[in-house]
Structure 1
Amino acid sequence: MTDTDLLNTLALMRVEGVGDIVAKKLINHLGSAQAVFNAKRSQLLAIEGVGEIMYNNLKNTNVFKLAESEVKFVKEQGIKPLYFLDADYPERLKHCIDGPVVLFSSGRIDMAGRKTISIVGTRQMTSYGADFCRKLIEDLSPLNPVIISGFAYGVDIFAHQIAMDNNLQTIGVVAHGLNQIYPKVHKKYVAKMEENGGFFTEFWSTSNPDKENFVKRNRIVAGISEATIIIESAEKGGSLITANVANDYNRDVFAVPGRVTDKYSMGCNNLIKSQRANVLTNAADLVYMLNWELEEKKHKPVQKQLFVQLEGDEQTVYDYLQKNGKELMDIIALHCDLPIYRLSSLLLTMELKGLIRPLPGKLFEAI
């Protein structure tokens, strides 16, 4: 967007009574933020929900002084503003009615056509949560997904770290302006994240990491992704808010189950119990539920690797499929004497090795 467009759009966002939903409504009716400010009284009052108070608020020129300062900051710092009608604005966020009109971006973010998941959870992550998060991202890495989180303590920063360890693009959605980092101890991760990924925020440089900002931030984390994964959560917590927003956006939500006595599994168990989240026990669950294996089959046929080393159970499953052709997961588990959770993991590993292919209806066949 041009500097003029940015100035007028930011000014519009500073008008009292105008939020993301109202701003989009005005822009969609009149064509641009500049057109909103230039519109006649009769044009504005003809829009449903616009009355005399808002019309008078739109005549307040002080909003342009605030916007001018922010435009200067954005240009000086090399921050990229993404406008909700632009092609490079995150596609899934365009379909969220309350998504930000302008999203500020830093780093080298490229989400076009990429698989995208959000991983969130408690700030008090346990070794159970850490082990699961690490294994999940490592197992998904051949599919090259973008890993999104909130750059907070605990699960968030751990997910970013493991993504970087596996050379995956990772994006931190922060609850403040891009002139600062919160928490400050995470500053050491910024440069590496911006090399392959970066940061998103809707907040101006005048915004501090206030409590209410984190709740607003969570809707971006939920809306920007195909699915939201809750690794660990107490009975109450910010990650549960993210899960609820993801459900409202009709996104898939997954929760990692834990023992009923574990404090930081209570939130996940409750999400599963109330059917607000799918059970997530391994990467295969996610790949299957999101149909990622089917998409890969359409766009990039799997080629069988030569001289692949098979483990004992992998050899058993492969020999069975070679002999019997395509078969249901439950039938494979029965005849190979394997529990479903173990077989799901094996099938994903074998698919990534190019030994088998998934078919609709939980069917699998050897290649």
Structure 2
Amino acid sequence: MTENDLLNTLALQHVTNIGDITAKKLIAYCGSAEEVFKEKKRNLLKIEGIGSVIINDLFEMSHHKAAEKELHFIKSNNIVCLYFDEEDYPEKLKHCVDGPVLLFQSGSINLKNQHIISIVGTRKITTQGIAFCEMLLEQLVPYNPIIVSGFAYGTDITAHKAALKHDLQTIGCLAHGLNQIYPKVHKKYVADIEKNGGFYTDFWSGDTFDKNNFLKRNRVIAGLSEATIVIESAERGGSLVTADIANSYNRDVFAVPGRITDSQSIGCNNLIKYQKAQMLTNPLDIPYVLNWQLETDVTPSIQKQLFVELDEQEKIIYNYLKENNKQQLDTIAINCGMPIFKIAGILLNMELKGVVRPLPGKLFELI
């Protein structure tokens, strides 16, 4: 977008009571943010949800003055601005009705041809939660996913650090402008994240830091991703809000179950109980459900390295498929005497090792 387009879009954002949904309505009706400010008031009043209060505020000069100040900050700090109707705007976020009109970016984010998942959870993550998060990303490395989280304490920073450890691109979604970092103790991770990913926010540099910003930020976390994974959560918490938003976007949600006596597992157990999330016990459930395929140049090296390392359950399935050729998932489960959810995880592990491959219709065959 041009500098003039950006200036007018910023000015539109600055108008009180004009959120992302209303801003998109106005832009769609008028053709651009600039044309909104040129349109006659009586025509704007024809738009559903636009009343005299908004109209009178819209033409205040203060909005363009504030926009000029923010534009100066953006240019001075080499911030990338992504407009909701342009090609470089995150594709999945385009399909969210309340996705940001403008998304501000720092770092070296590259979303092209990438799997994207969000990992969220409690700020009081347990040692078990940390271990599962690290195991999850370690086993997903061959699929090279982008890991999205909120850069907060606990689960968020655990996910970002695990992604960096395994050289996976990671994106931190911030609840404030790019002129600051919260929490300050995480500032030491900024350079590494920007080198292999970066940060997104739809907040201005002058926005007041407020706890409600975190809830607004969560729609970006959920909207960017194919799926949201809740590692741990108390009975209430921001990660459950993110899960609800992901469900509203018709995205997959996974939750890691825990003991009923563990306070940081209540939220995840409830998501599963009320069928708001799929139970996640095996990291390889993720590529199976999301239908991820390994890159063709990755499979041979994995096959050569791991083919002979089949455990007892994998050998049972291997021998069954060897005798019966390609078979459906349900049939394999019945004849191998294992529940379907367990068979699915084992088959994914065997696919990762280059032993089996999935076919249409939930069929599997040996390679």
Shorter chain as denominator, the TM-score bin is over 0.9
The equivalent of 1:132 in structure 2 is 132
Q: CA deviation at 1:331?
A: 4.3
Matches within 5 A, 1:35-114: 35-114=35-114
What's the CA shift for 1:324? 1.8
Secondary structure of the residue aligned to 1:176 is coil
Matched, 1:233 2:251: no
Q: Mapping of 1:12-23 within 5 angstroms?
A: 12-23=12-23
Partner of 1:181: 181
Structure 1 runs not aligned, ≥5 long:
none
Partner of 2:258: 258
Structure-2 residue corresponding to 1:30? 30
Cα deviation 1:274-331 (Å, max 9, x = unaligned):
11111111122222221224xx59x889558347332333444323322221223454
Query: What TM-score do you get using the length of structure 1 for normalisation?
Result: 0.93
Aligned twin of 2:199: 199
CA distance in 2, matches of 1:258, 1:330: 27
Shift of 1:339: 6.1
Q: Which residue of the partner structure matches residue 249 of structure 1?
A: 249
Conserved in 1, the CA contact under 8 Å of 2:255 and 2:269?
Answer: yes
Q: How far off is 1:346 after superposition?
A: 3.2
Q: Is the 8 A contact 2:326 2:363 kept in 1?
A: yes
Kindly indicate whether the alpha-carbon contact (under 8 Å) linking 1:333 and 1:343 is maintained by their aligned counterparts in 2: yes
Please list the CA deviations of residues 136-174 of structure 1 after superposition, one character each: whole Å capped at 9, or x if unmatched: 111111011111000011111001111111111110001
**Higher mean C-alpha deviation, range 145-154 or range 356-365:** 356-365
The Cα shift of 1:208 comes to 4.2
What SS is found at the alignment partner of 2:134?
A: helix
3-state secondary structure, aligned to 1:283: coil
The aligned length equals 364
Residue of structure 1 equivalent to 2:218: 218
Aligned twin of 1:157: 157
CA distance in 2, matches of 1:67, 1:243: 33
Report what 1:311 is aligned to.
Answer: 310
Query: Closer, same or farther in 2 for the Cα pair 1:301/1:141, shift >3 Å?
Result: closer
Paired with 1:193 and 1:303, the residues of 2 have a C-alpha distance of 30
Unaligned runs of 5+ in 2: none
Q: TM-score, normalised by structure 2?
A: 0.93
Give the Å deviation of 1:336.
Answer: 4.7
Q: Which residue of 2 aligns with 1:326?
A: 326
Q: Are residues 228 and 312 of structure 1, via their aligned partners in 2, closer, same or farther at CA, if it must alter by over 3 Å?
A: closer
Contact 1:122 1:237 in 2 (8 A): yes
State the distance in 2 between where 1:207 and 1:273 align: 38
Identity among equivalent positions (%) equals: 57
Aligned residues of 2:288 and 2:348 also touching (Cα < 8 A): no
Aligned ranges for residues 137-148 of structure 1 at < 5 Å? 137-148=137-148
Q: 1:337 to 1:310 in 2, by over 3 A?
A: farther
Which residue identity does 2:201 align to in structure 1? Answer: T
SS of 1:292 mapped into structure 2 = coil
Contact 2:288 2:344 in 1 (8 A): no
Could you say what secondary structure the match of 1:110 adopts? coil
Cα displacement (A) at 1:97 = 0.9
Query: Per-residue CA shift, 1:107-141, capped at 9, x if unaligned?
Result: 01111231111000001111111111111111111
Letter of the aligned partner of 1:5 in structure 2? D
CA distance in 2, matches of 1:153, 1:4: 38
Amino acid aligned to 1:43? N
